[in-house]
Structure 1
Amino acid sequence: MTRLEQLRALTRHLTIAHHIPGRVRFKLKLGALASQELGQLSQVGQLKQMIETMPGIRDLRVNPAALSCVVEYDPAKIPPPLWESLLGAEECEQVTQALDRIEHHYQTFARG
């Protein structure tokens, strides 16, 4: 499975509920709780730590009861339109570059 296919498998469960530059709120669709893709994310705390330490991310707040999360970010480092492109798993250079940065950060984070 390619990275874009993996991204599509995960992002099909998310919607952007609200977005202003510097702050985006995601909602998890109710049916996602039974999905195989999200069921594999057993290390939610570790995933949250990894995302919080990504360059450009200022804060990540998860509200399990509301099935939502808020990401506060630096719009100078993460262009606001990139969120929609990532959520749509668009085949474009910006998404490919963002996935490269995310993968590099993940590899660095995993090594500790």
Structure 2
Amino acid sequence: MPAFDELRDSLVYIRVVHHIQGRIRLKLVAGYESLAGQGRQARQFQSILDRTRGVHGVRVNLLARSCTVEYDPQVIPVAAWDDFLTGVDSPAAAILEQILREIHREILHDEL
């Protein structure tokens, strides 16, 4: 699995297309064209989200280039998703980034 910052850099290709409290739909935008890369990173992204505290479900649709995440807003603040994905430095984004970094470290440790 690549370094967390490498995965974070790929977030520039992800947009929020729909968001209600507890459920967010993300879309991979044009500019990230490699299907092989999409599949590999989608699996890595899903692996991280599947193990993320506060996430109840993840559905990835490679053909639609989208991902739906059901989450607990008591654990992950609603504003965290938009802020984290757009690079806004906020307390909400910091919570989500900390949770994701912890999971990423666990996955790397498990791979050893």
Structure-2 residue corresponding to 1:16: 16
Greater displacement, 91-100 / 52-61: 91-100
- The alignment partner of 1:86 has SS state of helix
Unaligned runs of 5+ in 2: none
1:66-110 CA distance string (max 9 Å, x none): 111100101111111111101111123332343222112211222
1:45 corresponding residue in structure 2: 43
Match of 1:83 among 81, 84, 91: 81
Q: TM-score, normalised by structure 1?
A: 0.77
TM-score if structure 2 supplies the norm length? 0.77
Matches within 5 A, 1:65-104: 65-104=63-102
- C-alpha distance in 2 between matches for 1:18 and 1:43: 21
Structure 1 position 43, deviation (Å): 5.8
CA contact (8 A) 2:16 2:24 kept: yes
Judged with a 3 Å threshold, the aligned counterparts in structure 2 of structure 1 residues 41 and 97 are, in CA distance, closer, same or farther, namely: farther
Identity %: 29
Q: CA RMSD in A?
A: 2.8
Unaligned runs of 5+ in 1: none
